Chains A and B, each alone.
Chain A
Amino acid sequence: MGWSRRRGAPSSDDVALQQVAGNGLINRRALLGQGAAIAGAMGAAGAITGAAAEPLADAPWSLAFGEITPALQSPSPFEKDVVRATSNPKGEFRNSHARTPHQLLSGTVTPNSLHFSINHCGIPNIDPAQHKLVIHGMVRQPLEFTLETLSRYPLVTRMAFVECAGNSAGMFAKVPLQAPAGLIHGLVSNAEWTGVPLSVLLDEAGIDPAAKWLVAEGADAQFLDRSVPVKKAYDDALVAIYQNGEHLMPGNGYPMRLLLPGYQGNMNVKFLRRIKVVNQPAYSYFETKNYSQILPGGKTWRFHFVMEVKSFITHPSFGLNLKEPGLYAISGVAYSGTGRISKVMVSADGGKSWAEAALQGPIHEKAFTRFVMPWRWNGQPAVLLSRAYDDGGNVQPLRADFVAMRGEAVNPVTTPLAFPNQHYNSTTSWAVDGKGEVSHVYA
């Protein structure tokens, strides 16, 4: 099966080309800059499918003066389909979501225009010169901040994913939904955030040592509020004012938002206008209802907070069919709300055998890590899945184990936009059939 055998006895170059797990997974080091190995692998793929290249000619765009450089650039018109999937295209008077098209992106940083966004009552049009943030309650001196004053602090920059607690909720369905990775998993994105540590602002206001909770509140049209443990505020919380180097996108909380790395997206309160220091959680609407989970048997989780270790393959995935047998890179993202990704295992035979994928560094805690696994598809059916491990010893559950504990939706789930439950983090499996078409399966 392994093509290296056809080339005779393994040489030192061949080590990186050996099949390391079933159905054509190749040693991950074949992608780590080992020129001979890559050249060999590409040559082998070409030997199977190799159509000869045609004589070259100058293209029309090379023979005419191009467009003048604009002030604000946007993607090529050829990229017009790289957009977020929206949940409320008719503009009905209700909430609206937009999901990151992971199957059309690579790397780890989500472009700001494609960062996921959920708004329960529209996106407020906030004048940053008028916006205020107040910290009060159990403090020595209530204080008011503005974007201008926050900008004068020594700012801190870090990578962090933000994930809606309802991301991937369609996978609670008994029957796998046939939808792109960006529709199933598009309510998570990853960015570089810059802001002021919340602990600095709380210390400045003089927080009462007896205080255990904060109520963080936004300036949107329902003043969305969530209770946050003081412990988290002093761990790694930021009041973020930049996203990937520019001020926040309106849908991501302009001009300032709470950033709680690894915690439910909804707790990362956008349009942040107020933090009240208190001695008990508020049981706000969102922590009472939407962001609390029903368990099999009828008990319910409250204050779950952390988005657990997770990964999914973006390439190939539903909608990205394989054109021909040969070499491919299986690639995807892994992340954990409790720490750093330590390992991602990939299978091409539905979980019968696994091999360790290459991780692209630097590996940040509570942020996307991209994994890559070279794969030679032999044209036969295959089932691809990834499984993430973090440095806290947490392992992404297989779907069967996950639903054995958390249950499946009783009612049919007809759309990936539905939220039958929350905090879904099992493995995702993509089946490749003999024609190279990719579908979503439970393996």
Chain B
Amino acid sequence: MSMLKSFAPLPLAALAFALAAAPVVARAQSSGLGKPIAEADIKQWDIAILPDGSNLPPGSGTPAQGAKIFAEKCSACHGEAGKGGVAPYYPALVGGQPLTNGIDTVKTIANYYAYATTVFDYTRRAMPYNMPRSLADDEVYALTAYILSLNKLIGDNDVMDAKTLPQVKMPNRDNFIMPYPDRL
């Protein structure tokens, strides 16, 4: 206000501008262009699972249940019991060579993945390749359990659910180096 006193009275137009600008300044962080949406309305899209199990849905499945679903919906591409061999571009889901074999070793669930949650997440978001998002959560748990059991990463009768899946210890988990931690 002291600045204003040192000048001649403001022209009306300038005063109107100053008044109009005030609320804009008060909302400097908000353009008003983003439309508020409730988290509940994002549920269908909110499919990213974190390695600690955050956002895993309710439900469960066993290797035996998964075997049936796999034969019906997955083996056409991934081969019988996930052994691959159908076409070179559809990966086997079981086995894997040691990474010490070379820098071009084929990366697999057993020899590479750091977290079992990745298997659930990718199966649910992307599989079957021709019908993404068509699997029920119980089916995804069952398929994840089946694939993990084929790789001897869990027992044949282990149930996978939101509590057990993040606890599966993946063999390669501690083998990763972050080359540039300062970039985080």
Contacts and interface: CB of A to CB of B under 8 A. Distances in A.
Interface of A: 92-95, 121, 134-136, 141-145, 149-150, 152-153, 172, 200-201, 203-206, 212, 215, 217, 221-223, 225, 229, 231-232, 273-274, 276, 278, 280-285, 288-290, 292-306, 406-411, 420-421
Contacts of B52: 280
B33 A222 contact: no
Contacts of B50: 278, 280, 282-283
A409 B103 contact: yes
A292 B98 CA distance: 16
A207 to B, nearest CB: 10
B89 interface: yes
Interface residues of B, number: 55
B36 interface: yes
Interface in B74-88: 87
Contacts of A135: 34
Contacts of A223: 47, 125-126, 132-133
A299 B45 contact: no
Nearest to A154: B31
Interface in B112-171: 112-115, 117-118, 121-122, 125-126, 129-130, 132-133
A438 to B, nearest CB: 27
A442 B66 CA distance: 49
A211 B23 CA distance: 29
A282 B49 CA distance: 6
B178 A300 contact: no
B184 A205 contact: no
A376 to B, nearest CB: 40
Given A217-B48, A300-B99, A153 B177 contact: no
21 contacts: A134-B45, A136-B39, A143-B34, A150-B33, A172-B103, A172-B104, A200-B31, A217-B45, A217-B48, A223-B133, A225-B48, A283-B115, A292-B112, A294-B104, A294-B105, A301-B177, A302-B178, A303-B179, A304-B180, A409-B104, A410-B101
A388 B179 CA distance: 21
Contact of B103 (A278, A283, A420): A420
Interface in B28-55: 29-31, 33-39, 42, 45-52, 54
Given A282-B51, A295-B103, A305-B183, 14 more contacts: A95-B89, A121-B129, A144-B36, A221-B126, A223-B125, A273-B45, A282-B50, A283-B117, A284-B118, A292-B107, A298-B100, A302-B178, A407-B102, A410-B101
B172 interface: yes
B17 interface: no
B7 interface: no
A135 B98 CA distance: 40
A105 to B, nearest CB: 29
A300 B104 contact: no
Given A222-B132, A283-B115, A301-B177, A145 B48 contact: no
Contacts of B122: 222, 284-285
Contacts of A282: 48-51, 121
Contacts of B98: 298
B176 A292 contact: yes
Contacts of A301: 176-179
Nearest to A411: B104
Contact of A93 (B129, B133, B176, B184): B129
A144 B37 contact: yes
Contacts of B133: 223
Nearest to B27: A204
